[in-house]
Amino acid sequence: MRTRQAPIGITAKDIAAEAVYLAGGGRALLLQIAHPAVGRGVAEHSDFATRMMDRLHATMTFVYASVYATPEEFAVVRRSVNRAHSPVRAQAAGDAPAYNAFDPELQLWVAATLYATMIDLYERFFGMIRDADAERIYREFTVLGSSLQVPPDAWPQSRAAFEEYWRDRLAELRPNADTKRVARQILYPSAIPWWMRALFPQARLVTVGLLPPEVRTGFGLAWDDRLQTRFDRWMRWAVLIYPRLPARLRHSPRDAYLKRLRASIG
C-alpha cells in the first residue's frame, strides 16, 4: 500500500519530466494495442520486430515535445506524425473493427494510457498525489493532451469520471492473435543495441508487472508468485534509489530528446 505523500504543489510538467516513465513505455503500448481497433491498426501498420528503437525514439520525441517544446518546434513534430498516421485507416472486415489514426475516441485511449501510466509510476516512486493537486494535474494533462489531438472537452470531465472511463475501457480490451504477436515483438525485441539485451529481461519483468492483471491474462502472459516476488523486489530497490538521484540525471532523457529535436530542426 502506498502511504507516502508526493510533494505539495507539483504540476503535470514536473511529473512528465521524470525518466522513470521509460520503464512504463511498454505498459502503455500493450494497453493501447489491447484495444481492438488500436491493436488492428498497429498490427497492420507498425513493425516493432525490426524498428523497435525507431518507434521508441519517435514516441518519446512526440511526448516530450508535446509538453516542453515551443509551439513552432512542436508543429514540426506534429506534421511528421500526421504524415505517418495518414494511411493508418481501414474499414471493418468481419469481426475486425474499423480503425482510423485520427479517430478521436482512439486518440483519447492512447492519451489516457500515457496519463494513467505516468500517474501510476509517479505515485509508486514519489508517493500519493494529494487530492487537490491530483485534480489540477488531471486538468493540466487534458490541456497537454490537446497536443495529442485530444481536445480538453473530449476527456472525462473529472478524475472520478476518468476512473470510470478507465474501468469501462479495461473491460472492453480484447487482445487477439495479431496483437499478441505484436506484444511478443515489444517484449522480445530482436533489433535493439547489444547493451540493451542484458537489460531487457528486467525491462520485460517490469512491463508485465505493471499491467493490470486482467490485461496480463488477456495477452496470455505468464505470471505467478515467483515473478510477483521478483517484480516487488525490483520495485523496492528502484523506489529506494531513483528519487534520490539528482534531478538533472532523472530529467536527462527529456533534455536529450529535446536537444536532438532542436538539432534536427536546425
pLDDT digits (tens, 9 = 90+) for 165-215: 999 999 999 999 999 999 998 898 877 777 777 788 899 999 999 999 999
Q: Mind listing the pLDDT tens digit for each residue in 4-60?
A: 888 899 999 999 999 998 889 899 999 999 999 999 999 898 776 667 677 778 888
- Dihedral pair phi/psi, residue 198, rounded to 5°: -70, -25
Q: DSSP states of 206-223 as a string?
A: HHHHHS-HHHHHHTT---
- Per the structure block, which three cell numbers stand in for 186? 515489444
Q: Are 62 and 250 in contact (CB under 8 A)?
A: no
CA distance 151 to 99: 19
> Residues 141, 16: contact at Cβ < 8 Å?
no
